Amino acid sequence: MKKILVTGGQGQLANCINDITKNNNGLHIVYVDIDTLDITDKNAVISYFKQNNFNYCINCAAYTAVDNAESNHELAEQVNYVGAQNLAYACKDYNVTLIHISTDFVFDGKQTKFYTEEDLAQPLSVYGNTKLEGERAIVNILNEHFIIRTSWLYSEHGNNFLKTMLRLGSERDELSVVVDQIGTPTYAGDLANVILDLIQKNAIFYGLYHYSNEGVASWYDFAKSIFDISMTKLELSPIKSEAYPTPARRPAFSVMDKSKIKNKLNIKIPYWRDSLKIALKNLNNEK
C-alpha cells in the first residue's frame, strides 16, 4: 500500500484528492494542515517524515492570496519557498517522491504563444516570485520530484473564483469582470486525477510539467460561462485591468502548453467549459 502525505489538507485540491480516493484501498493518505504540520518549521518536517514511512508527498500547501502577498512578503516566502525547500530536504532524506503544485503566475504574460516548460519564468508579483523560488529549491535539492504548474484553479471546495461569482450573482444585478487577462480555468478535480495517475502508474519521468484544462478564456469569459451554465440572471460587463487596479500585477497572457504531460501520461485533458459544467452540477447536488 502506498502511503501519501498531502500538505495543505484543508484546501480545494486536497479536498478533491480526498473525494476521488475515498474508496481506494490501495492508498493510505494522510492530510495535514498548519495545525498538524507547519511546513515552514524544518525540524518539525524532518521529525514528521522520520515518524512516518511515506512514499509520496503532494505539496498543496501555499500562500495563494496574490494581492495580500505584496504586503506580506515574508509570510509568502516562508510558505511558498521555505516550506517547499523543507519538504524537498525531508523527501531526499527519507526517499520520498515529491509532487509540488506551482502556478502560471511565474510568467510575465508578455508572450503571445502558449508557455512551455522551457520558457523563461519572470514573475510580476511577490506570489509568483516566491512560487518560483520554491520550484528552484526543489530542483536543486531533489531529483525525484514532479513540479506541476497549473492555472486559475477552482472547485466545489474552499474559496475560489467560481464560488465568488456564484455568491455575487445571488447578491447583485450587475457586475464587471476583467477581459484582458487571458489564461485557462482549471478544475481541481481534473488536476487531482492527474496527480493520482502519476502515483498509480509509478511514474519516474521526473521534472517540470504544465497542467490546466484545455482552451483559452478571459476572466470575463469564465464569469460569463459560470452565469450562463448556472442560469444566473445578471448584467455582466467586460472591463480592462486598468479599471480594476490591484496591489499585485498579473500576467496578461498565461495559457500553458500541456503537450509534455499529455504525452508522458497518455491522457486527454478536458475542455474547461466541460469541467465547469461538472463542478456546477456537483455544487447543485450538494444543496
Residue type, 6: V
Maximum CA extent, the chain: 56
Measured between its terminal Cα atoms, the distance across the chain in Å is 35
List beta partners, residue 187: 154
Can you say whether residue 215 is alpha, beta or left, with left for phi > 0 and alpha for psi between -120 and 50 degrees? left
Contact 268, 124 (CB under 8 A): no
- Catalytic (active-site) positions: 127
Contact 104, 117 (CB under 8 A): no
Beta-carbon contacts of 197 under 8 Å, excluding residues fewer than 6 positions away, are: 203, 265, 267
Residue 10 C-alpha cell reads as 484543508
Cα 183 from Cα 104, distance rounded (Å): 9
Can you say whether residue 268 is alpha, beta or left, with left for phi > 0 and alpha for psi between -120 and 50 degrees? beta
Cα 92 from Cα 98, distance rounded (Å): 9
Contact 184, 153 (CB under 8 A): no
203 CB burial (10 A radius; 0-12, 13-18, 19+): middle
Q: 29 by DSSP, 3-state: which?
A: strand
